[in-house]
A and B are shown apart, each in its own frame.
Chain A
Amino acid sequence: MFTGVDLGLKENTAERIVRIVLFIGLGALPAFWQGQYALGLLTLMAVYGVLLIGLDATVGYLGQVNLAQAALFGLGAYGTALAVQAGASFPLALIAGVIAALLPGAALALPALRLEGPQFALSTLSFATLSVIVLNESESITHGALGLSIVRPSLFTVALDARGFYWLCLVVLFMSWWVSQLLLKSRFGLSIEALRDSPTATDALGIGTLRHKVLAFAWGSALAGLAGALHALNFGYLQPAAFGYDLMVMLLLGVVFGGRRSQWGAFAGAAVVAMLPNLLSNRTLFSTLVSFGCILTLFPIFRSLISRKVPAFKEAAPAVAMAAALILSLFANNVEEWRKGIFALFLFAAVVGLPDGLAGAVVSALHKLIRFTPDPLPPVSGGFRPAGISVSEPLHVLKLSKSFGGVRAVDNVTLDIGQDEILGLIGPNGSGKTTFINLVSGLYAPDSGTIEIAGTRPLPGSLMSASSAGAARTFQNLQPFSGLTALESILVCQHDGGKSEAMGWLRVVALEEKARQRCSEMSYGDLRFLEIARALATRPRLLMLDEPAAGMSKPDIARLVDLVVSIKRAGVPILLIEHHQDVVAELCDRVAVMDGGRLIALGTSDQVRHNPKVIEAYLGADDDHTSVQSKSEPQLC
């Protein structure tokens, strides 16, 4: 099998080279491709590029449908235009544009980012509509619907012509691209990716969800403002209606079409958004493009036909859509009038056929053709250090209760964990163990009772607050940061220290060899260990492990036991939910037994094993007066 050519290149280096070549090429283009139209399109593409890189921060990285970007773009444009009218210089006008979008963007982010999915989309949409109303109605400032005309000021005594302005936009695009890249590859960017995969885990590990969301949104808004500033200076005439719903949908489609979570995708999307409406007006070119697309979409169909499968909907649909577009573009009386429909078919094929967008498709194709050399692993250092202040009472829980519907999941539980202790929490399925951990770690707010972690009382129902009090946990159902590598997963959880410390934590769980592996590609057992390493990296004062051995093979369980022992030795008290009784017996200093939401026994492993209540809970109903025996069934014991 062909595994690709090895060029001895690192992927990052290759990407950087291609990017620089692209920019030099784009910068040189006006020399070959003359004319105002060409420059106009290129400028528009650069401006949209900045805008879409900003939009991708929310749509791609946060994974939320942001419908406010067009309005923020407009606010930026108006900010700049008004600054120019007030006599601001070129750079000052740009800054005014950024601020005009950044401030309202940040103000929107605070309420909106508590929301998800449709609610988030709606709040951004409302904001967008509001902005356009304000621009339209503030006639004394913005001239409302009449529009605002400005003359582009000169940049430090240089009056920019169309070409000069294009180069300026290109430089701004390059800078935005570069800074975005830096930002999103930093710990901040990793946190954003992590919280998209599992906001519960990021909160529980103290990374903080809201703060990062607000910052990402603010960055996106700032870029929208910058793009708006360039837009205002480019066209010199603004009307509020231009920043409405239509533009928004185009931008959203641009990001998805280009490919989310990639500056390349945003750039490709910008090129498409800028060029497509103009290309569509040229019938010959358009038919050519559609036929080309049609051929491309036929490949997956052929592939599945060769492997004797009926092509799935996913493979067939793009081809059908493209074929319909081709028929329309060749035979419709007036292609112009069908443009929206053809455009829709085109997009349909792209969204279904290229779920990762243009950039995603190209990258995966390149990965098939070229083998890149991986970066060397960072050196290992750190590992266990004393876990800060050791507290006499890491966990103190008093009369904790929680019900769901008619079911009391946790019923009046009082429990303490001592210093340097491993407390096992056992009980039959559904006895309320996980609910207990969910309460302590702040996922649920208790109905009544108090929780004290390392001497402080976290806010009820706040994962973040419990985490900053010193609690860290793993999850019964894994909550991996699928988009990150093992090393990155640790990096986002560390409050201090760099890559070598992170490698240290990986060594603790014996995963340092897999530091570069993506979580989505890691085995189940490895992910379980990685979750423990993640929790340790926050330097907790209380570690809660929710069924760490579930689904593990025997050798892995042995590894786990050793790990837990060494964590205890390092001075971290542990609350352990576990089904494997041998593991519990081996590890736990004390064992608490829950049944039906209540705490029914507490003591050493041996004491508990012989506690009649526990035996009953585990064996089932008491023998004496069950109907089971009254019908003279065979007796046990």
Chain B
Amino acid sequence: MDAKYIALAQMAVGGGLMGMAYALVAYGFQLTYAAGKAVNFGQGELVMLGAFTGISLAGSGLPYGVSVLGAMVAGAALGWFVERVAVRLALKQHNEGWILLTIIVGLFALSFVENIWGRDDRPFPVPWPAAPLDFYGISVTWPELAIAMGALGIMIFVELAKRYTMAGIAVQAVSADPEAAELCGVRSSSAISLSWAVSGAAAAFAGTVIGPVTTVGPTMAAALTLKAFSVAVVAGLDSGFGLVIAGIALGAAENLSGYVLGSGWREAPGLLLLILALALRPQGIFGKKIIRKV
């Protein structure tokens, strides 16, 4: 094959794999939005905290898998905490305060990490082989593959749990009609807390698989949050696996436009498309149309 096309394919594949990372973080947005119509703008900070927790656990000699699990437990606790202190109150007052409160909690997390773990980026040690894989001239590293597998894995796991456990079905019920769910004996607030905890665990998991690719640092959150938020909104905040497609598309589009137009323009076409997509389909490409009731 022509070297030029191989290069383009390399860019698309690399971007798509990174796009899975966006989708994974976006999935966290989706989980909380479905349950309580709120998203955590500090989600990126949860990813970062998860990554740092994972590094610390791995650094204390625990095997990788155990560190990941530990980070997820910590992430779940944090997700629950954010809902409790920042979101529930503001939603009760019916204002947009929760947007700011989640940003503020994220800011605190950033400061906390800077002072506890330091400001430097650091590599995340992983047990995977260091040498990249080669598919017909396209290199893919193991950590990149781990993102894709991990993202799909956790999404499938949570989606299955949503379908095949009562807690999951209850969360869906609360998202469809909280009052009717209450009538079934489901405590809406617990269901919402649960989805925030799962969202937090997913974020922490994201940190442990994204960290090995991007390195781990206090500022790793900012870029991720924005990209993931874009993916979540464009796919539709209630669209399940639409995220994966939107994520891969955004990641690949970024890489390809950076390659073709020059690296400074990397994000531009994606953003332009995003504004257009929203203008044409406000509920997201895969989202369901909202019926206004009066």
Known: A122-B230, A123-B275. Is A351-B96 also a contact (CB below 8 A)?
no
B110 sits at the interface (CB 8 A): yes
A351:B97 contact, CB within 8 angstroms? yes
Question: Considering only CB atoms and an 8 Å cut-off, how many residues of chain A contact the other chain?
Answer: 55
B233:A130 contact, CB within 8 angstroms? no
Q: Which of A63, A121, A126, A317 is in CB contact (< 8 Å) with B274? A: A126
Question: Considering only CB atoms and an 8 Å cut-off, how many residues of chain B contact the other chain?
Answer: 45
A32 sits at the interface (CB 8 A): no
B274:A344 contact, CB within 8 angstroms? no
**Chain A residues with CB below 8 A from B115, complex form:** 332, 337-338, 341
A477:B294 contact, CB within 8 angstroms? yes
Main secondary structure of the interface of B (DSSP, over half): helix
A118, A313, A317, A355 pick with most chain B CB within 10 angstroms: A118
**Chain A residues with CB below 8 A from B85, complex form:** 313, 317
A348 sits at the interface (CB 8 A): yes
B176 sits at the interface (CB 8 A): no
B292 sits at the interface (CB 8 A): yes
**Chain A residues with CB below 8 A from B33, complex form:** 118
B108:A344 contact, CB within 8 angstroms? yes
B93, B101, B114, B278 pick with most chain A CB within 10 angstroms: B278
A347:B104 contact, CB within 8 angstroms? yes
Q: Which of B107, B265, B291 is in CB contact (< 8 Å) with A137? A: B265
A126:B275 contact, CB within 8 angstroms? yes
B111:A341 contact, CB within 8 angstroms? yes
B279 sits at the interface (CB 8 A): yes
**Chain A residues with CB below 8 A from B237, complex form:** 118
A133:B292 contact, CB within 8 angstroms? no
Q: What per-residue 1/0 map shows which CB atoms of B104-131 lie under 8 Å from chain A? A: 1101101110110000000000000000
A122:B107 contact, CB within 8 angstroms? no
A115:B278 contact, CB within 8 angstroms? yes
B111:A65 contact, CB within 8 angstroms? no
Closest beta carbon of chain B to A61's beta carbon, Å: 13
B111:A112 contact, CB within 8 angstroms? no
Within 8 A of A (CB), among B15-54: 33, 39
B114:A253 contact, CB within 8 angstroms? no
Nearest CB to that of A139 among chain B residues? Answer: B264
Known: A137-B262, A344-B108. Is A351-B100 also a contact (CB below 8 A)?
yes
Closest beta carbon of chain B to A106's beta carbon, Å: 14
Nearest CB to that of A320 among chain B residues? Answer: B85
Q: How far is the CA of A136 from the CA of B266 in the complex (A)?
A: 12
Q: How far is the CA of A623 from the CA of B207 in the complex (A)?
A: 67
Q: How many A-B residue pairs have CB under 8 A?
A: 135
Q: How far is the CA of A477 from the CA of B226 in the complex (A)?
A: 37
**Chain B residues with CB below 8 A from A253, complex form:** 100, 103-104
Known: A313-B89, A355-B93, A443-B292. Is A338-B111 also a contact (CB below 8 A)?
yes
Q: What per-residue 1/0 map shows which CB atoms of A226-267 lie under 8 Å from chain B? A: 000000000000000000010001001100100000000000
A438 sits at the interface (CB 8 A): yes
Nearest CB to that of A64 among chain B residues? Answer: B96
Closest beta carbon of chain A to B232's beta carbon, Å: 8
Nearest CB to that of B88 among chain A residues? Answer: A313
A178 sits at the interface (CB 8 A): no
Nearest CB to that of B29 among chain A residues? Answer: A118
B294:A130 contact, CB within 8 angstroms? no
Known: A200-B292, A348-B105. Is A339-B111 also a contact (CB below 8 A)?
yes
Closest beta carbon of chain B to A48's beta carbon, Å: 18
Q: How far is the CA of A343 from the CA of B107 in the complex (A)?
A: 8
Q: What per-residue 1/0 map shows which CB atoms of B258-275 lie under 8 Å from chain A? A: 000010110110011011
Known: A63-B96, A123-B275, A314-B89. Is A348-B230 also a contact (CB below 8 A)?
no
**Chain B residues with CB below 8 A from A317, complex form:** 85, 89
CB within 8 Å of B: which residues of A?
63, 65, 108, 111-112, 114-116, 118-119, 121-123, 125-127, 129-130, 133-134, 136-137, 200, 245, 249, 252-253, 256, 313-314, 317, 332, 337-345, 347-348, 351-352, 355, 404, 434, 438, 443-444, 475-477, 479
Nearest 5 A-B pairs (CB), nearest first? A341-B111, A111-B279, A344-B108, A340-B111, A344-B107
A–B Cβ pairs within 8 angstroms, 28 of them: A108-B275, A115-B279, A118-B33, A118-B229, A119-B233, A123-B275, A126-B230, A126-B274, A133-B264, A133-B265, A133-B267, A134-B268, A256-B97, A313-B89, A317-B89, A337-B114, A343-B107, A344-B105, A344-B107, A344-B111, A347-B107, A348-B101, A348-B104, A351-B97, A352-B101, A355-B93, A355-B95, A355-B97
Interface contacts beyond A130-B272, A443-B294, A476-B294: sample of 10 additional A-B pairs, CB < 8 Å, sorted by A: A114-B279, A125-B229, A129-B267, A130-B271, A137-B265, A200-B292, A317-B85, A317-B89, A341-B108, A479-B294
CB within 8 Å of A: which residues of B?
33, 39, 85-86, 89, 93, 95-97, 99-101, 103-105, 107-108, 110-112, 114-115, 222, 226, 229-230, 233, 237, 262, 264-265, 267-268, 271-272, 274-276, 278-279, 282, 284, 291-292, 294
